[in-house]
């Protein structure tokens, strides 16, 4: 931290943020309400229940002096909204994060936490557990930043809003969509505390500011052939074999799009997530159906569900052209949402300008600006017309097992959040 570039007030607030406080809070947040808060993207799985973690976060905010509201769209899934009105007119700034996590399906693979994915375990400068990087470790950074700002007894302009949502892992229907579209939440600026970190632990590291997000959607291809006995593969049309040939074409296929300045880590691309075929009790027969489920990721503005389906249909037509023994049905996965890519917030606009200036003052170098290649609530806030960005200490890599977060980055992020709040809301001692 470059203290010479911080005001006396900013230095005093940063001095209230300690590593042990972050560790203690992150450990408690990670354990709270798990595994009920695991929220699968699969539309056929039950939604998460975030009630326990919501009440814990609401209690934290209430202790800081926030006025609390807990609006609910679906029973067992309260969102948390906290507000502190400033002493003078000014902009409204929202600090956001989400209360649900990824589910854990194979806990035996979590050797860094002794087989318990929800037991936060430190190894060197890294903390391991489900929810460390996505996103209760980031949440802890946001909360201790809010705690430091409120504990300093400063006068703010405008309004400071803390918004902690449910259902982020499944695109925000009961969370960010609900609070923006149905409740009309629309602050001037929003910072979502989600993973944007890069580098380390032994080399240079930092945290990008994601000024835009890529979108995604789920697509299903059902191939149909003919069922036949395993002794006579020569007289059947096996859709599994056709699926195998098709996968390589899907992996390499281009999608119709206009390149943008910030393209994300990948261009628009297919990610194959599931193949289903065959029936229990019929291993004597080759099946007559095979279903491929794709996640199309890296979606940028201008792409639509129709354009995605049209592009994939062209691949199917080329692959199956001339065959009448194999047919294909293509559709969006029922119950899933199409998420469009967002336009970036300009680097001269708020909150990017202030957040970037604080980062440079504290880190000694300007932050990277990018498009985050994943969904988070920033997308729904941008759709509501809010100048919303993403910035956080978690790693932008999403480990399926042995999820982790950097402790030094998490403490640094908390200080950057705190100083950004002070500057954007023109804090006075």
Q: What totals of helices (H) and strands (E) does the chain contain, helices first?
A: 10, 19
Instruction: Write the pLDDT tens digit of every residue in 206-238.
Output: 999 999 999 999 999 999 999 999 999 888 999
Q: What mean pLDDT is predicted for residues 119-145?
A: 97
- Cα dist from 246 to 155, 238, 306, whole Å: 61, 13, 21
CA-wise closest residue to 142 among 90, 82, 202: 82
Higher pLDDT among residues 322 and 375, named by residue: 375
Q: How many CB atoms sit inside 10 A of residue 293's CB?
A: 18
pLDDT band at 3 (very low <50, low <70, confident <90, very high): low
Angle of helix 19-31 versus helix 137-151 axis, rounded to 10:
130
The pTM of the full predicted model, rounded to 2 decimals, is 0.94
Beta strands in 35-86 (DSSP E): 67-69, 80-85
State residue 323's pLDDT score: 82
Instruction: Write the pLDDT tens digit of every residue in 57-67.
Output: 999 999 999 99
pLDDT higher than threshold 70 for residue 144: yes
Angle of helix 19-31 versus helix 407-424 axis, rounded to 10:
100
Q: What mean pLDDT is predicted for residues 6-35?
A: 97
CA-wise closest residue to 91 among 417, 378, 411, 349: 349
Q: What mean pLDDT is predicted for residues 398-425?
A: 96
Residue written as token pair 């209690």: 59
Burial of 243 (0-12, 13-18, 19+ CB in 10 A): buried
Instruction: Write the pLDDT tens digit of every residue in 390-410.
Output: 999 998 767 889 999 999 999
Higher pLDDT among residues 134 and 203, named by residue: 134
Alpha helix (H) residue ranges in 64-190: 137-151, 176-177
Instruction: Write the pLDDT tens digit of every residue in 63-109.
Output: 999 999 999 999 999 999 999 999 999 999 999 999 999 999 999 99
State residue 212's pLDDT score: 97
Supply the mean pLDDT for the chain: 95
Q: What mean pLDDT is predicted for residues 243-271?
A: 91
Instruction: Write the pLDDT tens digit of every residue in 171-194.
Output: 999 999 999 999 999 999 999 999
Cα 407 to its chain centre, rounded Å, is: 19
d(CA 193, CA 393): 8
Q: What percent of the chain has pLDDT over 90?
A: 90
**What residue ranges define each of the domains in the chain, with the CATH number in brackets?**
3-213+341-424 (3.40.630.10), 215-332 (3.30.70.360)
State residue 203's pLDDT score: 84
State residue 262's pLDDT score: 83
């Amino acid at each position: 931290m470059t203290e010479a570039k911080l005001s006396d007030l900013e230095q005093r607030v940063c001095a209230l943020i300690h590593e042990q406080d972050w560790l203690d809070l992150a450990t408690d947040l990670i354990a709270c309400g798990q595994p009920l808060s695991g929220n699968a993207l699969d539309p056929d799985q039950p939604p998460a229940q975030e009630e326990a973690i919501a009440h814990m976060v609401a209690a934290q905010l209430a202790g800081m002096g926030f006025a609390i509201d807990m609006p609910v769209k679906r029973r067992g899934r309260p969102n948390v909204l906290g507000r502190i009105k400033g002493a003078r007119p000014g902009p409204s700034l929202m600090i956001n994060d989400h209360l649900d996590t990824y589910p854990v399906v194979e806990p035996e693979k979590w050797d860094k936490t002794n087989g318990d994915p929800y037991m936060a375990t430190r190894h060197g400068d890294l903390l391991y557990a489900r929810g460390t990087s996505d996103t209760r470790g980031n949440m802890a950074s946001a909360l201790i930043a809010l705690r430091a700002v409120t504990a300093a007894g400063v006068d703010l302009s405008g309004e400071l809003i803390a918004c902690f949502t449910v259902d982020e892992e499944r695109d925000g229907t009961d969370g960010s969509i609900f609070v923006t579209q149905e409740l009309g939440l629309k602050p001037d600026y929003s910072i979502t505390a989600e993973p944007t970190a890069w580098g380390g632990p032994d080399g240079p590291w930092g945290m990008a500011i994601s000024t835009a997000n890529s979108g995604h959607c789920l697509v299903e291809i059902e191939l149909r052939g003919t069922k036949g006995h395993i002794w006579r593969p020569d007289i059947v049309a096996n859709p599994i074999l056709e699926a195998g040939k098709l996968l390589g074409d899907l992996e390499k296929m281009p999608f119709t799009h206009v390149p943008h300045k910030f393209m994300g880590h990948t261009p628009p691309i297919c990610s194959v997530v599931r193949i289903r075929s065959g029936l229990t009790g019929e291993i004597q027969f080759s099946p007559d159906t095979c279903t491929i489920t794709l996640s199309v990721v890296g979606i940028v503005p201008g792409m639509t569900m129709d354009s995605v389906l049209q592009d994939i249909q062209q691949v199917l037509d080329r692959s199956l052209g001339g065959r009448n023994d194999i047919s294909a049905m293509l559709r969006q996965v029922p119950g899933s949402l199409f998420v469009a890519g967002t336009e970036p917030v300009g680097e001269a606009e708020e909150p990017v300008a202030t957040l970037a200036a604080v980062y440079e003052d504290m880190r000694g170098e300007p932050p990277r600006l990018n498009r985050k290649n994943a969904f988070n609530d920033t997308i729904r806030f941008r759709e509501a017309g809010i100048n919303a960005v993403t910035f956080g200490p978690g790693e932008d890599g999403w480990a399926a097992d042995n999820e982790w977060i950097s402790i030094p980055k998490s403490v640094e992020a908390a200080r950057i959040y705190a100083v950004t709040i002070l500057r954007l809301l023109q804090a006075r001692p």
